């Protein structure tokens, strides 16, 4: 349960104004409404103050003062989170890293780039590409989300199957602890086993253990060919075989494996302006993409693989992209989830993981329970199958989201029963706090609390989030 609202912290604002340039602190109406909530739109309120540092040193000064006054602080990046992790309440101070958006020149010898936390992901991607590299991170919110937020939430996304989660793309990291201590190193070494790797404490801690200020990202070689296809499959068993075979056949170039259930396909192809690449209704749909480095041979290998699957009955229909425009049209179907807030404003959404051998059972259990409770309700399933990650949208028409708690119970019951994860890539934030114990043991949660108490003894960093 959220703790009771603490009394105002006398003197904290005066101390901040004394120590910092006045334009680093905004109050009341000077704080844009953007900072009143995040993409969840939950519980908008104006924070006590908005801090806008220009340097790590200023972040350190701000936290040292807040620590001295036991003043709660909520770090904010691009505010694109979906679990209320960066939501600041009226008695909390929001600390936005948006002014710290510098991107150093790419180090082309090792393929790394050092960036400040407020750098927007898309700008980092562009800097990497201009230098002949690829940034491993990519999520739908790329135009607004920031590297600091990506790291603090260990963001996932569409390229995880190829390049891993945010955690796998960070070589070095600088963070500021609750008391203002600056820790971390801007390490560029791939191998560095010199004691505890502290960066992993901050990656995915959602701003509860420290504030990420700067990071060294590991970049990847650019590929020169893209193969993409939209496939129809008889069902999930076939998809799992296809996944295994694609990993083996494509020699590490498999870059996306996005599965869509028939209800999802029917829904998104019914939206205005959307293509319908495959006719008829099939058991499952798959958007598969490979990015390779053999422009001559990649297409042939990819098509031979699809022909083999067709002969084996693993796929029943296929539409192969002949151009980047085709590829974009396939992706538009998957990315149509961005329009769900408009078409299904009161929906319940889930970002969960299941072991692959339990995925079919999970979808079946959830679907059967939802249909029994609310016959004919909307249920859309899609996800990054290669990463165990299933996204679920459930909407009971004309109920204004009233059944959200029962829908959550159905989904998280399946997650618990099948040893899944209550959060695959969005984090825990405020929204999933009460469900953490579904996927973490008591001992794990107790250890998390010990870490929190050690690094933030006064509990000022993002209170009432995660734990
Ligand atoms: Zn996702």
The CA 335 to ligand 1 mean position distance, Å, reads 10
Tell me how far the alpha carbon of residue 383 lies from the centroid of ligand 1, in angstroms.
Answer: 6
**100 CA to middle of ligand 1, Å?**
27
Dist. CA 428 → ligand 1 center (Å): 15
Q: How far is the CA of 91 from the centre of ligand 1 (A)?
A: 32
CA-to-CA distance for 116 and 215, rounded, in angstroms? 6
Distance 158 CA to ligand 1 centre (A): 7
81 alpha carbon – ligand 1 mean position (Å): 12
Q: What is the 3-state secondary structure (H, E, C) of the chain?
A: CCCCCCCCCCCHHHHHHHHCCHHHEECHHHCCHHHHCCCCCCCCCCCCEEECCCCHHHHHHHHHHHHHCCCCEEEECCCCCCCCCCCCCCCCEEEECCCCCCECCCECCCCEEEEECCCEHHHHHHHHHHCCEEECCECCCCCCCEHHHHHHCCCCECCHHHHCCHHHHEEEEEEECCCCCEEEECCCCCCCCCCCCCHHHHCCCCCCCCEEEEEEEEEEECCCEEEEEEEEECCHHHHHHHHHHHHHHCCCCEEEEEEECHHHHHHHHCCCCCCCCCCCCCCEEEEEEEEECCCCCHHHHHHHHHHHHHHHCCCCEEEECCCHHHHHHHHHHHHHHHHHHHHCCCCEEEEEECCHHHHHHHHHHHHHHHHHHCCCCEEEEEEEHHHCEEEEEEECCCCCCCCHHHHHHHHHHHHHHCCCECCCCCCCCCCCHHHHHHHCCHHHHHHHHHHHHHHCCCCCECCCCCC
pLDDT by position in tens, the chain (length 467):
444 555 556 799 999 999 999 999 999 999 999 999 998 889 999 999 999 999 999 999 999 999 999 999 999 999 999 999 999 999 999 999 999 999 999 999 999 999 999 999 999 999 999 999 999 999 989 999 999 999 999 999 889 999 999 999 999 999 999 999 999 989 998 889 999 999 999 999 999 999 999 999 999 999 999 999 999 999 999 999 999 999 999 989 999 999 999 999 999 999 999 999 999 999 999 999 999 999 889 999 999 999 999 999 999 999 999 999 999 999 999 999 988 989 999 999 999 999 999 999 999 999 999 999 999 999 999 999 999 999 999 999 999 999 999 999 999 999 999 999 999 999 999 999 999 999 999 999 999 999 999 999 999 999 999 99
CA of 425 to the centre of ligand 1 (A): 7
Q: For residue 264, report the distance from its CA to the centre of ligand 1, in Å.
A: 14
CA of 387 to the centre of ligand 1 (A): 10
What separation in Å is there between the alpha carbon of 151 and the centre of ligand 1? 16
Distance from the alpha carbon of residue 384 to the mean position of ligand 1, in angstroms: 7
For residue 160, how far is its CA from the centre of ligand 1 (angstroms)? 10
Report the separation in Å between the CA atom of 437 and the middle of ligand 1, taken as the mean of its atom positions.
Answer: 22
Cα 65 to ligand 1 centre (Å)? 38
Cα 422 to ligand 1 centre (Å) = 13
**Ligand 1 center–CA 179 separation, angstroms:** 34
Distance 131 CA to ligand 1 centre (A): 28
**CA 389 to centroid of ligand 1, rounded, Å:** 7
């Amino acid at each position: 349960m959220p703790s009771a609202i603490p009394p105002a912290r006398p003197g904290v604002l005066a101390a901040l104004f004394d120590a910092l340039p006045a334009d680093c602190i905004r109050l009341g109406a000077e704080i844009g409404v953007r900072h009143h909530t995040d993409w969840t739109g939950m519980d908008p309120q104006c924070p006590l103050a908005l801090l806008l540092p220009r340097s790590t040193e200023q972040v350190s000064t701000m936290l040292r003062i807040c620590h001295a006054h036991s003043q709660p602080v909520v770090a904010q990046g691009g505010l694109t989170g979906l679990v209320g992790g960066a939501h600041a309440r009226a008695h909390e101070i929001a600390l936005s890293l948006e002014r710290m958006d510098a991107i150093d020149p790419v180090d082309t010898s090792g393929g790394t780039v050092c960036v400040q936390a407020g750098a927007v992901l898309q700008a980092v991607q562009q800097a990497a590409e201009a230098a002949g590299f690829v940034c491993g991170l990519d999520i739908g919110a790329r135009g607004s989300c920031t590297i600091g937020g990506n790291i603090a939430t260990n963001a996932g996304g569409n390229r995880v199957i190829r390049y891993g989660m945010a955690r796998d793309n960070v070589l070095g990291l600088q963070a500021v602890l609750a008391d203002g201590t600056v820790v971390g190193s801007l390490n560029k070494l791939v191998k560095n086993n010199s004691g505890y790797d502290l960066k992993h404490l901050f990656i995915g801690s959602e701003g509860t253990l420290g504030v990420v200020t700067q990071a060294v990202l590991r970049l990847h070689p650019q590929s020169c060919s893209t193969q993409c296809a939209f496939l129809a499959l008889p069902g999930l068993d076939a998809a799992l075989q296809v996944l295994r075979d694609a990993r083996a056949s494509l020699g590490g170039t498999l870059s996306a494996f996005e599965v869509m259930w028939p209800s999802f396909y029917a829904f998104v192809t019914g939206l205005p302006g959307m293509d319908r690449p495959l006719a008829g209704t099939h058991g499952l749909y798959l958007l598969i993409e490979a990015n390779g480095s053999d422009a001559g041979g990649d297409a042939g290998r990819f098509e031979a693989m699809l022909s083999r699957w067709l002969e084996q009955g693993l796929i029943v229909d296929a539409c192969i992209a002949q151009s980047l425009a085709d590829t974009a049209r396939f992706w538009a179907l998957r990315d149509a989830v961005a329009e769900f807030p408009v078409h299904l404003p009161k929906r319940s959404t889930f970002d969960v993981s299941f072991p692959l051998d339990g995925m079919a059972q999970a979808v079946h259990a959830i679907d059967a329970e939802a249909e029994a409770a609310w016959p004919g309700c909307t249920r859309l399933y899609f996800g990054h199958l290669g990463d165990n990650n299933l996204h679920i949208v459930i909407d009971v028409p004309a109920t204004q989201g009233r059944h959200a708690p029962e829908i959550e119970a159905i989904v998280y019951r399946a997650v618990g029963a099948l040893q899944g994860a209550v959060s695959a890539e969005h984090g825990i934030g405020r929204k999933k706090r009460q469900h953490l114990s579904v996927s973490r043991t008591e001992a794990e949660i107790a250890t998390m609390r010990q870490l929190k108490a050690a690094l933030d003894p006064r509990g000022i960093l993002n209170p009432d989030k995660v734990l």
